[in-house]
């Protein structure tokens, strides 16, 4: 059997996804081009040997339209002969890109492929691409006559169902910042973050190398004073069980970012003299209730554990995307997961969630955690719009 291996993975430090954020002055094509170029430079591969580039991006509109993965590789200086495609599985888009890449290698369709992702939420805000009933069509309106809801409402419903109170959500969120700040102080992100030269809000040319969304001073007490973000009288009437605990403090911030992973067959890595860092062990994708929307990591994890023959106790680190604090907490409750293994370097509440980039960002953080601790297996899963989730298990080599 052909094995797909991860040779290297890089990312940009996060930028606040609003005007004035560290990466907001840089076109998203250039964000993605930079990580593609850096990945090739770090590994020394000939980009002409890359069979395909598969990128994730959610808001494929404006500057992110027209197959941004192809545009970015051309900007990065790759030969014209290298093709690319851009996929949208919502927040899991670049995790899905990694799945497609690794599965293509296993199937024999690829020898070398890059999975990547990008999102500039400062320049292409959420809602730029069509959303809601106008994008869904009459069948969805008929099936869900009361309408689907935004992700903040879904997070409220999860918090209510799993009985997660405000103190628990805020404590988890503060811990995310504390873990991320501690990891940064110890240099634990140095292997995955690559510097990029940008123009800041003052018009100065600077090097961006530190996650802008991490707040080391965050405390649960400080977060407790924030007001709920998603309460409306209409939603309160429709969902009387909701306790309205979701705030900016226990949600992932709007973020700009890009990331990329080099994936190839074990045989090709050996031929090129490259040392693989991890092997792709198992894959799963699942759907769940689109109103609860963010619960699909639970069935996706059940599915991948069954496929892999592993138990949750066999996994040495879990990266469960922190779109909102209730998501990883409900997931951990369902599996009896060890809290120390859950997002041990902090999660998206601190590090940011640059939508299309987050999948390969989590992959890099996960493999670096396994290498630092000597762990063997890592599990990555993330909730996705309309009630989906990807799950991936990697094995450190």
For tokens 């860092």, name the residue: 277
Give me the catalytic one of 3, 34, 91, 245: 91
Residue 113 contacts residue 101 (beta carbons within 8 Å): yes
353 among known catalytic residues:
yes
91 among known catalytic residues:
yes
Give dist(CA 79, CA 83) in Å, integer: 9
- Spatial CA neighbour of 211 closest among 373, 361, 370: 361
Token digits of residue 392: 């991936």
99 among known catalytic residues:
no
Residue 314 contacts residue 215 (beta carbons within 8 Å): no
Give dist(CA 27, CA 155) in Å, integer: 31
Token digits of residue 267: 């045989």
For tokens 């409750």, name the residue: 333
Give me the catalytic one of 34, 57, 281, 383: 383
Question: What are the DSSP E strand ranges found in the chain?
Answer: 4-11, 15-16, 52-56, 84-87, 112-120, 196-199, 205-208, 255-265, 278-287, 317-320, 377-384, 388-396
Q: Which residues contact 262 (CB under 8 A, 6 or more apart)?
A: 6, 7, 8, 9, 39, 43, 45, 112, 114
Name the residues annotated as catalytic. Answer: 91, 353, 383
């Amino acid at each position: 059997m052909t094995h797909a291996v991860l040779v290297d993975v890089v990312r940009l430090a996060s930028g606040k996804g609003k005007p004035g954020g560290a990466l907001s002055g840089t076109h998203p094509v250039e964000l993605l081009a930079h990580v593609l170029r850096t990945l090739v430079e770090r590994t020394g591969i000939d980009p002409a040997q890359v069979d395909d580039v598969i990128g994730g991006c959610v808001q494929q509109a404006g500057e992110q339209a027209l197959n941004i993965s192809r545009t970015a590789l051309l900007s990065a200086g790759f030969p014209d002969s290298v093709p690319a495609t851009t996929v949208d599985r919502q927040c899991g888009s670049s995790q899905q890109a990694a799945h497609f890449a690794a599965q293509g290698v296993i199937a024999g369709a690829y020898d070398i492929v890059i999975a990547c992702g990008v999102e500039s939420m400062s320049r292409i805000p959420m809602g730029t691409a069509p959303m809601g009933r106008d994008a869904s069509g009459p069948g969805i309106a008929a099936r869900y006559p009361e309408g689907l809801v935004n992700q903040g409402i879904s997070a409220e419903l999860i918090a209510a169902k799993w009985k997660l109170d405000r103190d628990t959500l805020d404590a988890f969120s503060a811990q995310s910042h504390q873990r991320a700040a501690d990891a940064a102080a110890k240099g634990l992100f140095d292997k995955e973050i690559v510097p990029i030269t940008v123009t800041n809000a003052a018009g100065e040319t600077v090097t961006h190398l530190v996650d802008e969304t991490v707040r080391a001073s965050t405390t649960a007490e400080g977060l407790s004073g924030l007001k709920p973000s998603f309460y409306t009288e209409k939603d309160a009437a429709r969902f009387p069980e909701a306790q309205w605990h979701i705030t900016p403090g226990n949600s992932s911030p709007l973020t700009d970012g890009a990331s990329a992973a080099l994936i190839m067959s074990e045989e090709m890595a050996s031929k090129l003299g490259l040392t693989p860092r991890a092997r792709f062990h198992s894959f799963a994708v699942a759907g769940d209730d689109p109103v609860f929307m963010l619960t699909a990591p639970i069935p996706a994890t059940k599915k991948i554990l069954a496929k892999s023959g592993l138990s949750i106790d066999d996994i040495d680190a879990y990266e469960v995307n922190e779109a909102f604090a209730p998501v990883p907490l409900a997931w951990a409750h369902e599996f009896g997961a060890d809290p120390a293994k859950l997002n041990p370097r902090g999660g998206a509440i601190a590090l940011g969630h640059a939508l299309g980039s987050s999948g390969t960002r989590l992959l890099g953080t996960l493999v670096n955690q396994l290498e630092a601790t000597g762990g063997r297996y890592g599990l990555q899963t993330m909730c996705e719009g309309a009630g989906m989730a990807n799950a991936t298990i990697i094995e450190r080599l």
